[in-house]
Structure 1
Amino acid sequence: MDIFSFDPNMVLSFYLTLFRVSIVLFIMPFFGDTLPNTMKAALLLVLTLAIWPKLSFPGSAFPAHPFNIAIMFAGEIVLGMTLGCIVRMLIAAVQVGGAIINFQMGFSMVNSIDPLTGQQEPMTTHFIYMCTMLTFLTLNGHLHLIKALGASFDIVPPGGLFLSPQLMSEVMLFSKQMFILGVRIAAPVIMALFLVDLALALISRTAPQMNILIMGFPLKIAVGFLFLSFVMEMMSDYVTNFISAMDQVMLHLMRLGSKPI
């Protein structure tokens, strides 16, 4: 007689759900970057216990051979990178735009320390990045990431997402959009500072006795910060449009790379 009612398939099913949530959760932006390890572990257990009764894999899907288990882990890592790269493209576009603005305003030597990575980054880049992440969280972007995690149980089997040619072409297309969005973010400040440089050049030709170098730095900084406020308003529209399309994009990428077992 089985006293403890031990069901190996149920345990293996819980392990598969735990692996899916843990690997994807630790690779995703915001969850994997900003949360402390203790909070990650607590969130991992809470999400696993919440998802397992409704969204779980059968225990028979757990590989029996260690080599197949390693392949399953590799597929789960690819899944986490695929879901995370979408949001990281937005973050990278913001950082590209902030770096361009930082250079145009004359703040090339003004850097700040990123507390997450410990590396130096331009001041305006870090400022725009923090504003973008706050907007992302305010618009419940992190909940859309969890929603995509739940949808992966229906679309992608354990370790069933691989780098297919169609998936790689879509990722490369998003990487191209990253640079375009970065230039669009920095465009208002670039144009304003270009007009300031043009005006200073005309003043230096008409009034050579004026010290344009001393007058130009504070003027460019003031104009740059003024138009940076307009960039913040544009960023809210970009993030809103990004979040509204994020669910469909993630589902599309998972369908491109999934392989039924």
Structure 2
Amino acid sequence: MLNIELIIVFFLVLIRMASFIVACPLFSLAGIPPLVKAGLAFTLAVLVTPLVQPPSLEFPGGVWGFGLAVFSEVGVGLALGFVCTLVFSVVRIAGTLLDFQIGFAMASVMDPLSGSINTLVSRFLYMMTLVLFMNIDGHHALIQAMVKSYQLVPLTAAGISGEVTLLIIRIFADTFTLAVQICAPVVAILVITDLSMGLVGKTAPQMNIFQLGFPLKIAVGVSTLAILLPALTSVFKYIFDTLQRDLLLLLKGLA
């Protein structure tokens, strides 16, 4: 005989898990087939359902109350995935700023993984961040965070408060702040290069500064970025730690 209560709990767990996988930049890569994503969400829901405290199945309003519960679980999953997207966008924004300074912005290409137009350095840094995140088992940490979310925010118990709104605004602001800090050393050197080229143009007007400047800025920018790449590992570690902290704060706010 079918256990209706267990089916309802499994469905609510599946809704939150699937919403998170759809919104999380790590699991929502376009290169992953939709059937694999659905299978991952279903498998995780099967494993997590026995660990979840069953909620009160007395939904006020009948079908409408159950619909609101489903909408609440979708919101929790999308909110967690959105925070992950904001944190991972740090390197993408930093790479875009670098591309504008180096001159790669004119070589923008359509990125099939994100479905948007990305510049070269931005795509390189973003993919490197994802690889490092997988290398340190960050995907396992995300799955553990989702399992813990059912303890901190029980099914049908999520709510939006002013603290959640302020937290998302703070994460959004920190994303741009950290992105500027990452690209600041390279941008500073490129600005010095521009000033030097300007002085050369004043002292030697017969030189074609524009023709000389583009390859020089590319060489200086790429060389500086290559030198700074080892130092960026500590920055990436800080980004990953920030992701775990923000997810925990968001879960406490939703609870």
TM-score normalized with structure 2 length: 0.90
2:135 aligned residue? 138
Q: CA deviation at 1:231?
A: 4.4
2:21 is aligned with 1:25: yes
Distance 2:169 2:231 in 1: 25
- What is the CA deviation profile of residues 9-66 of structure 1, one whole-angstrom value per residue up to 9, with x for unaligned ones? 233332232223222222222113343211112212221222222x224264373722
Kept after mapping to 1: 8 A contact 2:17/2:77: no
Deviations 1:181-211, CA, capped at 9 Å, x for gaps:
1111211221111111111122222222222
Code of the aligned partner of 1:187: A
CA distance in structure 1 between the aligned counterparts of 2:12 and 2:53, rounded to whole angstroms: 6
- Which residue pairs with 1:216 in the alignment? 213
Change (3 A) 1:123 1:248: closer
2:109 aligned counterpart, secondary structure: strand
Q: Which amino acid aligns with 1:106?
A: G
* Residues 136-169 of structure 1: CA deviation (Å, up to 9, x unaligned): 2212221111111001111112233232101100
CA drift of 1:119 comes to 2.8
**Which of 181, 184, 187 does residue 184 from structure 2 map onto?**
187
Q: Unaligned 5+ residue runs, structure 2?
A: none
Question: Is 1:147 the equivalent of 2:138?
Answer: no
Structure 1 residue 223: Cα displacement: 0.4
- The alignment's C-alpha RMSD in Å is 2.0
1:44 aligns with 2:41: yes
CA shift, 1:247, in A, is 3.0
Unmatched 5+ stretches in structure 1? none
What CA distance in whole angstroms lies between the structure 2 residues aligned with 1:49 and 1:21? 11
In structure 2, relative to structure 1, the CA distance for the partners of 1:41 and 1:256 (3 Å cut) is same
Aligned length: 253
CA pair 213-21 structure 1, distance change in 2 beyond 3 A? closer
Structure 2 residue matching 1:109: 3-state secondary structure: helix
Q: CA separation in 1, counterparts of 2:198 and 2:184?
A: 21
Describe the superposition over 1:104-128 as per-residue Cα deviations: whole angstroms up to 9, x where unpaired.
1122221111113433222221122
Of the structure 1 ranges 112-121 and 39-48, higher mean CA displacement relative to structure 2 is found in 112-121
Instruction: Check conservation: 1:78, 1:162, Cα contact below 8 A.
Output: no
Does the residue aligned with 2:206 lie in a helix, a strand or coil?
coil
Sequence identity (%): 29
Q: Is contact 2:55–2:154 with CA below 8 Å preserved after alignment? A: no
